[in-house]
A and B are shown apart, each in its own frame.
Chain A
Amino acid sequence: MMSSNLSAIFYLVSGVLFILALRGLSSPETSRQGNLFGILGMIIAIVVTFLSIGNYSSGLVFVLIFILIGGSIGAFIAYRIPMTAMPELVAGFHSLVGLSAVFVAISAFLNPEAFNLGLPGNIKLGSLIEMSIGAAVGAITFSGSIIAFLKLQGIMSGSPITFKGQHFVNAIILISIIILIYLLCSTQSENLFWSLLAVSFLIGFLIIIPIGGADMPVVISMLNSYSGWAAAGIGFTLENTALIITGALVGSSGAILSYIMCKGMNRSFFNVILGGFGATEDTSLNLNKEQKPVKSGNADDAAFLMKNASSVIIVPGYGMAVAQAQHALREMVDTLKKNDIKVSYAIHPVAGRMPGHMNVLLAEANVPYDEVFELEEINNDFPNADVAFVIGANDVTNPVAKTDPQSPIYGMPVLDVEKCKSVLFVKRSLSPGYAGIDNDLFYKENTLMLFADAKKMVEEITKSLD
């Protein structure tokens, strides 16, 4: 059996390796090495746990069996999942972190002796507080992520679900969680522990239902953060350094991503969380709108325009992911490059359904990452480019965000697509984007609309280019 001091040092080592794992992600070159550090840290933590318990009863066999079962399921999913389904996968994984935090808290509550936390019904006060906070946050993470998962998967409608007095109900529930934790700590009652879990599951569910589909990047980042805080709460209970360090890292990582996503939409965090965005405007805006003329074209027109261009900027959005058009797009770009046309990609921070979603899809289609640029890096290049090719994006290109203070997206940073000499817009119809507002870009002189499925259109353009 390993001494607890020695094992504490090893847990610290694995915490440091986790920091290095995140550090590696600062550039694609070092990222793979970073991931290996993470794996090493995890192996150390698990091995040390086995060595420090030293109780090799037949329970050990079962633990190993369950690791094997879980591991095979995880590995299977990891190899089979298509890259377009990454947001769902991450949401699903968050729910598992939340649920395992809840389960660990339950077993610690029922059998505190195993964790050196005191006796059942007489758990050390500090541990009980940490445990109940960890359990509550874990439960919120679980039910919230399940809703996010269902919305992303399309099983549940992506439109916000709101009802009267929603914020009031949520506030009451949040207060009751605090009261329950207080009562639980003073009475140690098992029933209160179960009620705390039930109420936390409920609030996780209620917080996420009013948030709409396009706000998913914020939701996923936020749940990422929650899963970290839940892990940290359990880490305090177990007095485990690796868990505390990791929880803090993950918690702050998710919080930063939420901040970046909110900034990308020019909305405050609370505005997103309180939800209901876009739901109210839809009806009034689609009425009494005069038909403005649009120019629409076909694949040959698009091919002609691009063939005569010397530089093209591609603006991908969620629609590209839905149509699975990334590979077809890369083939089109290859053809363009053969004709000595300079091509780059412009990514808006909230393009797609999770942070970095578009980058992964393009990487999957073998687009070199040094041709892919973030909004700030490329926005000044639009006036010098000949063609902007917008595929599956809408609101993030809408100039109204710069001109109309009345617009719900006013102030949101947008890609200056309209400054290009000509704009090609691949879209299925003229319908407004998620924010429920019309895009002025559709009606501009230099815009050519290509009404078609993104993948089909791109394939046709490639054919006409040859």
Chain B
Amino acid sequence: MEIDPLIFRLSIFILSIFVGYYVVWSVTPSLHTPLMSVTNAISSVIIVGAIIAGLSGNSESIFNTSSIFGFLATALAAINIFGGFLVTQRMLAMYKKKKRDKK
């Protein structure tokens, strides 16, 4: 009997939870704020769904209810992607090792 593809996705999901568990425990507490902003940015990979939705209109009707929601979702996810990665970058740049005597 063939296995439902859902089971494969479920396996990926469960294993990723475990990967996440171990990876996140190894994050140093001083970087917990950047951790939150970067998880924010990566969870906006939901933009792939938004793009599919935005491109779902055919050439006669680019704007239907479904694609409009897609466009809006694209914009929201893009705010998060750019905002999330850039603000993380900005924070991490502050954690550069500094010379002690440098003022």
Contact = CB atoms under 8 A, between A and B. Distances in A.
Interface in B1-39: 5-6, 9, 12-14, 16-17, 19-21, 23-39
Q: For this complex, into which size category does the number of interface residues on chain A fall?
A: 35 or more
A55 to B, nearest CB: 6
A159 interface: no
A252 B20 contact: yes
Given A241-B12, A245-B16, A249-B16, A111 B54 contact: no
A383 interface: no
A126 to B, nearest CB: 6
B25 to A, nearest CB: 6
Interface string B23-63: 11111111111111111111111111111111111110010
Contact of A57 (B33, B53, B62): B62
Contacts of A247: 13, 16, 43
A69 interface: yes
Contacts of B50: 100, 103-104
A79 interface: yes
A63 interface: yes
Nearest to A46: B47
Interface in A236-293: 236-254, 256-257, 260
B92 A31 contact: yes
B86 to A, nearest CB: 4
B101 to A, nearest CB: 9
B76 A369 contact: no
Interface in A334-374: 334, 347, 349, 354-357, 359-360, 363-364, 366, 368-369, 372, 374
A59 B57 contact: yes
State the main secondary structure of chain A at its contact with B: helix
A79 B86 contact: yes
Contact of B78 (A66, A86, A231): A66
Nearest to B66: A111
A208 to B, nearest CB: 17
B65 A110 contact: yes
A356 B24 CA distance: 14
16 contacts: A22-B24, A22-B39, A26-B28, A53-B52, A62-B54, A72-B82, A75-B83, A78-B90, A86-B37, A100-B73, A107-B53, A242-B45, A253-B35, A355-B35, A356-B31, A369-B97
Closest 6 CB pairs of A and B: A70-B78, A356-B32, A74-B83, A114-B56, A74-B82, A248-B16
Interface of B: 5-6, 9, 12-14, 16-17, 19-21, 23-59, 62, 64-67, 69-98, 100, 103
Given A66-B71, A89-B37, A89-B83, 20 more contacts: A14-B45, A35-B85, A38-B38, A46-B47, A58-B59, A70-B81, A75-B82, A79-B90, A86-B91, A93-B84, A100-B77, A103-B70, A103-B72, A104-B70, A234-B49, A243-B46, A256-B24, A354-B33, A356-B36, A366-B94
